[in-house]
């Protein structure tokens, strides 16, 4: 029997994995969830000898049941190869009292590569399986990393177009340059005068706009998403938590069945949700640490059971986490509500109308495996400096938020459980902030020149993803108001 998917806001109709991947967002605005979370039946000790590709297949086949083994293995083989600068795809680095899961060895040096390298292949395979000949239009909002990774993944993929919106003043100089220099006849990038939440709200509005959908259909086009709201993006993120467990087994740091903690710097909630899915599948996870920057909306939710986006939006030195509306939290809300679609739908309406919703005590009790904490910008920089001085290892600002929250948790609880920290971006993606921590008073040079300085300090070569930007021409220079997003998409797709 195929594993079917339905909206978090309506349990009918249920669709196959390929249909859910192709649609991205459910027609009612909800997120697709599996009718049940499958169990990982492999013995845990087997993970110690499995490659990344092998682990990916064993996880994904449980979710994408209408893909044949040949189709799924083909997608995996095409995704996890030359796009990554190490053969193992990701690795664990022990530093201090934790293991850092380096998810930044792809061509855009951020964790989004881990899933967005395979999503285009899943999507084009899904289109064939569904008998869809329409052009697939990927419409995505980004807080910095998803945009470039999606652009790189979909660039010049036949039968697709991709349009990315990013907050013009809300990403790092390297992140912006990666996007605006993106090649590909099917790519388009626009900055908006607003923040990530504004961009994401505009994209969601287009997905639920029936008149716009009819206009697209009349031109042989259909929308889909590359954000982690797409189940085809979320499931591949589950893989690396199983892979990390296997590496700890292989290194003799744990025994099969031993519990681990996982700490994730969190913005849109997709990456930590993937870790929660892994736990539900049977991965021995004790505690999930949700790490936030000064935009503490998730910390307050876990501590108080109230989600309240009505607060100042703070631009920080960990910009990919500068988010007040964490879309993937809806999937967790669905689970802890007892899979009550009406309860989810009602709270999403409250969030849209008032900016606030509250969960019941019973729902809050089901969140017991989560702990949360936050770091200020000063604490983030101090964590980068402190870890470097102690170990010689350099981390980026987002990873530093997670590292600080973990260290605080460990001191407060005395919990010595082996802990994996999701290292979500290379320090070279945020050179100015990282150098500000390591070398206060450094010369005010362009970000691309600062990368050479960081290389000298860290002993790590400048990644090709950064060095290649120096002479890359700007190909996308559009900047618009958020109210112009629909008009712009129409214009781009009318070409």
Q: What's the pLDDT at 445? A: 87
Residue 495 has pLDDT above 80, yes or no: no
pLDDT range class, residue 31, cuts 50, 70, 90: very high
* Distances in whole angstroms, Cα of residue 450 to Cα of each of 205, 212, 365, 428, 466: 39, 44, 47, 9, 11
Residue-wise pLDDT tens digits, 380-436 = 999 999 999 999 999 999 999 999 999 999 999 999 999 999 999 999 999 999 999
Instruction: State the sign of the Cα–Cα–Cα–Cα dihedral 323, 324, 325, 328.
Output: positive
Average pLDDT taken over every residue of the chain: 95
Residue-wise pLDDT tens digits, 143-155 = 877 889 899 999 9
73 among known catalytic residues: no
Q: How far is CA 453 from the centre of its chain?
A: 29
For range 66-76, the mean pLDDT: 98
Phi, psi angle pair for 364, to nearest 5°:
-65, -35
pLDDT range class, residue 448, cuts 50, 70, 90: confident
Q: How far is CA 470 from the centre of its chain?
A: 27
For range 159-179, the mean pLDDT: 92
For range 12-28, the mean pLDDT: 92
Residue-wise pLDDT tens digits, 466-482 = 999 988 999 999 999 99
Q: What's the pLDDT at 460? A: 94
Structure tokens belonging to residue 237:
């993120």
Residue-wise pLDDT tens digits, 350-386 = 999 999 999 999 999 999 999 999 999 999 999 999 9
- Active-site residue identified among 73, 82, 112, 128: 112
* Distances in whole angstroms, Cα of residue 232 to Cα of each of 129, 237, 320, 408, 475: 15, 9, 21, 34, 29
Q: Are 400 and 380 in contact (CB under 8 A)?
A: yes
Q: What's the pLDDT at 199? A: 92
Is 447 strand, coil or helix?
Answer: helix
Q: How far is CA 346 from the centre of its chain?
A: 26
For range 78-105, the mean pLDDT: 96
Residue-wise pLDDT tens digits, 209-263 = 989 999 999 999 999 888 788 999 999 999 999 999 999 999 999 999 999 999 9
Is 468 strand, coil or helix?
Answer: coil
For range 328-336, the mean pLDDT: 97
Q: What's the pLDDT at 121? A: 93
* Distances in whole angstroms, Cα of residue 456 to Cα of each of 203, 438, 450: 41, 12, 10
Is 164 strand, coil or helix?
Answer: strand
Is 420 strand, coil or helix?
Answer: strand
Residue 362 burial by Cβ neighbours in a 10 Å radius (0-12, 13-18, 19+): exposed
Structure tokens belonging to residue 402:
């997670």
């Amino acid at each position: 029997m195929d594993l079917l998917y339905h909206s978090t806001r309506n349990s009918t109709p249920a669709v196959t994995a390929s249909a859910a991947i192709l649609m991205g967002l459910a027609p009612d605005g909800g997120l697709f969830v599996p009718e049940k979370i499958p169990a990982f039946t492999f013995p845990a000790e087997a993970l110690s000898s499995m490659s990344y590709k092998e682990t990916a297949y064993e996880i994904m086949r449980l979710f994408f049941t209408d893909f044949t083994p040949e189709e799924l293995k083909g997608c995996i083989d095409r995704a996890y190869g030359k796009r990554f600068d190490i053969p193992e795809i990701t690795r664990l680095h022990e530093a201090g009292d934790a293991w850092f899961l380096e998810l930044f060895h792809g061509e855009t040096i951020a964790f989004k590569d881990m899933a967005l390298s395979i999503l285009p292949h899943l999507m084009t395979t899904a289109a064939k399986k569904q008998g869809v000949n329409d052009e697939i239009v990927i419409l995505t909002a980004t807080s910095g990393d998803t945009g470039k990774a999606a652009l790189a993944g979909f660039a010049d993929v036949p039968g697709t177009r991709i349009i990315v919106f990013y907050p013009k003043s809300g990403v790092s100089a390297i992140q912006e340059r990666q996007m605006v220099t993106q090649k590909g006849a099917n790519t388009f990038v626009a900055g908006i005068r607003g923040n990530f939440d504004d961009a994401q709200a505009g994209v969601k509005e287009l997905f639920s706009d029936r008149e716009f959908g009819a206009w697209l259909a009349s031109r042989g086009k259909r929308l889909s998403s590359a954000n982690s709201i797409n189940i085809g993006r979320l499931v591949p993120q589950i893989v690396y938590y199983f892979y990390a467990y296997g590496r700890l087994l292989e290194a003799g740091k744990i025994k099969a069945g031993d519990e681990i903690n996982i700490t994730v710097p969190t913005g849109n909630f997709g990456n930590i949700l993937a870790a929660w899915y892994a736990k539900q599948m049977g991965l021995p996870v004790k505690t999930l640490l949700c790490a936030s920057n000064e935009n503490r909306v998730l910390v307050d939710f876990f501590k108080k059971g109230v989600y309240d986006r009505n607060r100042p939006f703070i631009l920080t030195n960990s910009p990919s986490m500068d988010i007040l509306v964490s879309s993937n939290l809806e999937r967790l809300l669905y689970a802890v509500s007892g899979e009550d679609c009406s309860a989810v739908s009602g709270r999403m309406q409250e969030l849209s109308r008032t900016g606030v919703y509250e969960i019941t005590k019973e729902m809050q009790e089901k969140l017991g495996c989560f702990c949360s904490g936050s770091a200020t910008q000063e604490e983030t920089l101090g964590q980068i400096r402190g870890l470097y001085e102690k170990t010689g290892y350099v981390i980026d600002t987002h990873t530093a938020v997670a590292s600080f929250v973990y260290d605080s948790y460990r001191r407060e609880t005395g919990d010595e459980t082996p802990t994996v920290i999701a290292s979500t971006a290379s320090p070279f993606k945020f050179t100015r902030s990282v150098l500000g921590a390591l070398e206060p008073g450094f010369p005010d040079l362009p970000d691309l020149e600062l990368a050479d300085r960081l290389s000298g300090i860290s002993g790590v070569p400048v990644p090709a993803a950064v060095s290649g930007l120096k002479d890359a021409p700007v190909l996308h220079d559009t900047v618009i108001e958020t109210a112009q997003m629909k008009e712009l998409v129409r214009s781009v797709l009318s070409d």
